[in-house]
A and B are shown apart, each in its own frame.
Chain A
Amino acid sequence: MKKRILLIAVLLLGLLPLTACQSSGNHGESITIVGSTALQPLVEAAGEQYGSEHFGKFINVQGGGSGTGLSQIQEGAVAIGNSDVYAEEKSGINEKKLVDHRVAVVGITPVINKQVKVKNLSFAQLKAIFTGQVTNWREVGGPNLPIVIVNRSQGSGTRVTFEKWVLRGAPAKQAQEQESTGMVRQIVATTPGAISYMAFSYVDKTIATVNVAGVAPTVKNVTTNRWQIWSYEHMYTKGQPKGLTKDFIAYIFSNKIQEKMLPKLGYIPVSRMQIQRDLNGKVTPVN
C-alpha cells in the first residue's frame, strides 16, 4: 500500500514540472489566437497551412466569440484576439492599447425559408419584421404565413452588424436565439416562414437569400458598398505585434491567403474593396 501512495505522489509531482517546462526549451514555438467564430475557419486554415510551411511553429486557434477574443487580448492572455466588431463597440474594452488588423470583409445577408417566395424587401420592411411590427409574410408581399424570427445570440458579431445597418438603433423583437450560424441555417431551412441572417459563406441550397432594396447580396455589391450590410473582420494585438505574431499576421496579408484562400472560404479580401468605412459608418473611396 505504501508503494501505491508513493506512486500516486510521484504521479502528482510529475505533473508539476510539465507545467513549468512549457515556456523553456526549444521545443517549438506557438501562439494562441482566440475569438470570433466567424473568423475562426479562416485563421484555422491559414494557421494549419503556416504550420506545414514553417516547421516547429504552431498556431493554436480557438473560438469562444468576439467578446472572449477582445477580453483575452486586453488581458494579454493570448497573442491575437479575433473580433467581428470594432473594439470601440464593446463596452469594457480600452481600445487604445489594442492594434487593429482588418484582415477580411464579410457580407451578411437576410435568409428565408424556401417556402416564403419573397425576392425583395426594402430596408423599412426588414426593420418592421425584426422589430415585430410585421408578423405575417402577407404584409410584405408573401404568402399567408406567420413570420418566425431566428436571431443569433446577443452580442454575436453577425447580429451586431445586422442590427446596426438594418434596425439602426431600434430595439429588436425578443425571438428565439441560436448560438451558431450552422444551427440558424438548419432551423431556417426546416421551419416554414422563418427568417434570419448570416454571412455569405454560410448560404447554401437549403435556404434562400433576399435582395434588399433591389440590391443583390453579391461580393461585387459589397466592394462598392451598394450592399451595406457587411463588416470587417478584425485581428487585434496588444501593442504592435512581434515575433511569430507579426510573421503570422504578415502571412495572413500575403497574396497566398488573401487571393487564394479567402475567396474559397467565402470571405472578401480587403484589397478588393473600392471603398472603406470607418467606425461611425462614414464611407470614403479607396485611392
Chain B
Amino acid sequence: MDPIRESLLKKSHQAKLERRGRLLGLFCISLIVVVVAAIFYFVASRGLATFYHDKINLWDFLTKQAWNPGTKDSHGIPEVGALPMIVGSFLVTIFAALVATPFAIGAAIFMTEISPRRGMQILKPVTELLVGIPSVVYGFIGLTVVVPVIRYLFGGTGFGILAGTFVLFVMILPTVTSMSVDALRAVPRHYREASLALGATRWQTIYKVVLRSSLPGLLTAIVFGMARAFGEALAVQMVIGNAALLPHNLVSPASTLTSILTMGIGNTIMGSLENNALWSLALILLLMSLVFNLLIRLIGRKGALKP
C-alpha cells in the first residue's frame, strides 16, 4: 500500500497514546467511584439491618434517649435511642464552628488585607503545621490541660460539650483559616482598588466589598470545618466523657456519634443487634457528610463570583 495512504488511514502514535491516557484516567476515576459506592453499600447494608432485620422503628431510633442496645425495655424492644449522640454531635460541631469562624476569618483578613507579609511569614506556616498534628495529640492535650481547667473554673468533672468544643475549635481553626485565605485571595484586586478610589477606608473596603464578594468561599470554608468537626473521633472521645445522656449544660458529660461508635465496635459481635446499631450510627455520619457536601455545592453554585 502507498505509505502516505497507510499513514493517513492508520491511527497515529499520538492518537493511540491519547486513547491510552484517557483510559488510564478513566480507570483511576472509576476506581474512586467504586470505592465510594462500596463504602456506601457496606455501611448502609449493616446500618439498615437495625431497622429491617432487628425491626427497630426508625423514628424511635432517632428520638428516644436510652442507649442500651444490650438490654430490652418493658415492651421487649431493645433500647436503641440515638438522640443523645445526635444532639451531642451537632452541639459540639455548631459551637466549634461558632467559636472558630470569627477567629479564622479575622486571621484570614489579617493575612490577605492588613499585613500580608507578616501574615505569610508567621501565621501561614504555623497553621499549615497544625493541620498535620495528629488528633490523638489534640486529645491528649485536651485531657491534660483543657479538662482540668474547665473543672477548676466550672466545677463538675470537666468532661463535656465545652471541652469537646474547645478541642475541636483548635483542630478546625487551621483548615478554616487557610480555606478562608484562599477565598479572600480570589477577590480580584480591582474590586479593592475601585473601593479605595471611591474614598472608602480600608475597613469599609474589607467589610463592604471583600467580605461580601467572597461570602460563598467563606461559607464553604466554615461548612468544611464543620464536616471535619462532625467526623472527628479520637480527640473528642478523650474529652467529652462519653455518657449517652442528653447534656444538661456545657460541662456535663455527653457523647457524640463518633465517640460511641469507636468505643463500642470492638465489644460487639458482628451481625448482632448491638453491632448493627453502631453501624446505624456510622450511617448517620455518612449521611451527614453527604449533607455537608450538598451544602457546600449549593453555596458554591449560588454565589459563584461573576467577574
Contacts and interface: CB of A to CB of B under 8 A. Distances in A.
B169 to A, nearest CB: 21
Contacts of A2: 17
B245 A174 contact: yes
Contacts of A67: 266-269, 274-275
A74 B264 CA distance: 19
A191 B270 contact: no
B70 interface: yes
Nearest to B246: A174
B253 A176 contact: yes
Given A153-B267, A171-B71, A191-B151, A179 B262 contact: yes
A178 B242 contact: yes
16 contacts: A64-B266, A65-B266, A68-B265, A75-B270, A91-B269, A91-B274, A92-B271, A153-B263, A154-B264, A154-B267, A154-B274, A174-B66, A174-B244, A177-B243, A186-B143, A191-B158
A148 interface: yes
Nearest to A8: B24
B68 interface: yes
Interface of B: 17, 24, 66-71, 143, 148, 151, 157-159, 237-238, 241-245, 253, 255, 262-275
A71 B267 CA distance: 10
A71 B269 contact: yes
Interface SS of A by simple majority: mixed
Interface of A: 2, 5, 37, 63-68, 70-71, 74-75, 90-93, 148, 153-157, 171, 174-179, 183, 186-187, 190-191, 194
A186 B157 CA distance: 12
A16 to B, nearest CB: 15
Contact of B243 (A37, A64, A175): A175
A174 B243 contact: yes
A183 B237 CA distance: 11
A179 B255 CA distance: 13
B270 A155 contact: no
Given A176-B241, A176-B243, A71 B270 contact: yes
A259 B43 CA distance: 46
Contacts of B157: 148, 176, 187, 191, 194
A75 B269 CA distance: 11
B242 A177 contact: yes
A171 B68 contact: yes
A178 B239 CA distance: 10
Contacts of B159: 176, 187
B68 A155 contact: no
A5 B22 CA distance: 13
B270 A92 contact: yes
A178 B259 CA distance: 10
Contacts of A93: 269
A176 B252 CA distance: 9
A91 B273 contact: yes
Contacts of A154: 68-70, 263-264, 267, 274
Given A154-B68, A178-B242, 4 more contacts: A71-B269, A90-B269, A175-B243, A176-B243
A200 B300 CA distance: 57
Contact of A190 (B148, B255, B272): B148
